Amino acid sequence: MLTGNDSLVTEFVLAGLTDLQELQLPLFHLFLMIYIVTILGNFGLLTLIGLNSHLHTPMYYFLFNLSFIDLCYSSVFSPKMLMNFVSKRNAISYVGCMTQLFFFLFFVISECYMLTSMAYDRYVAICNPLLYRVTMSQQVCSALSLAAYVMGFVGATAHTGCMLRLTFCNASVINHYLCDILPLLQLSCTSTYVNEVVVLVVVGINITVPSFTILTSYIFILTSILHIKSTHGRSKAFSTCSSHIIAISLFFGSAAFMYLKYSSGSMDQGKIFSVFYTNVVPMLNPLIYSLRNKDVKVALREVMTKIKKRDKL
């Protein structure tokens, strides 16, 4: 596990979600089901949006990207997490850990900004409906989605680059089921001051900018909805935003709880909250957007009808 000078760790051991042996197999089956539903749900939504031309609108363009992020995001750590439930030694190489950290952060930060782009899209659709097609042109949508991925790349590079400069000595057990920033910083035998500053700056930006944009968008949206005179118009506007509000609340709410627990020193409780943030949210997103969306339901019925017709031929 150690290099020739017995000072530098070349692999880590993931402590996992729990060390209780009797829970390992039940948890394996539970998280396997969650992962399967996540893959099927997000891949199904990607396929549905891709095959139906009437879903080729800005709203569904961002939803397509969100599903793609969730699909990749859950695949970064879920296979390793599942292996850890059934293997005796939950080891991950140093390179593997840093790679997992990079892609985990890349997709998490990208999702923050993709949800922000979706909030801006709903703002334009409700507050400036006559200018919607002009404002949310293909070029604008592409630029917003590209910006989300660029912010994800910059944030992940900053965190991972700073992590690579640290030295990890004999302590090699990560108190988590994945390689995350705070559990890794606890293992460093060199100063983590620079890393802590980077965490403060990067996390601060990636929370403040999306939160402020989303909050501002929904203040304007709520104001516009309250000015709609007809009850039908109001309910239609609310239903348009409800799925996105639920998705935002789940993502930011669970992430906030997780990092609050970590900052208070409660690593075990932090791991429990992180399950919701890392595993449950990517599974629920496609269900939220499909079950509460009439366009998606209609598109799904059309696909099912076409499949039935082919089977009869």
Structure confidence at residue 257 (pLDDT): 72
Q: What is the pLDDT along the chain (313 residues), one digit of tens a residue?
A: 444 333 478 889 998 888 888 889 999 999 999 999 999 999 999 998 988 888 889 999 999 999 999 999 999 999 999 998 988 888 999 999 999 999 999 999 999 999 999 999 999 999 998 899 999 999 999 999 999 999 999 999 999 999 999 988 877 889 889 999 988 998 998 888 999 899 889 888 988 899 899 999 999 998 888 887 777 777 777 777 887 888 888 888 777 776 666 555 566 667 777 888 889 889 988 888 876 677 777 777 777 777 777 766 6
> At residue 111, what is the residue type?
E
Q: How far apart are CA 199 and CA 193, in angstroms?
A: 10
Structure confidence at residue 243 (pLDDT): 79
Q: What's the token pair of residue 171?
A: 């302590």
Check residue 189 and report its DSSP letter. S
Residue with tokens 């089977």: 311
Check residue 57 and report its DSSP letter. S
Burial of 270: CB neighbours in 10 Å, binned 0-12, 13-18, 19+: buried
What is the CA angle 288-294-300, rounded to 5?
85
Structure confidence at residue 4 (pLDDT): 37
Structure confidence at residue 135 (pLDDT): 93
Q: Give the pairing type, strands 91-93 and 173-174.
A: unpaired
Nearest Cα neighbor of 205 from 254, 152, 258 is 152
Name the superfamily (CATH) of residues 11-311: Rhodopsin 7-helix transmembrane proteins (1.20.1070.10)
70, 111 contact by CB (below 8 A): yes
Cα 216 from chain centre: 22
Domain ranges of the chain: 11-311
Q: What predicted TM-score, i.e. pTM, was given to this entire model? A: 0.90
Structure confidence at residue 263 (pLDDT): 59
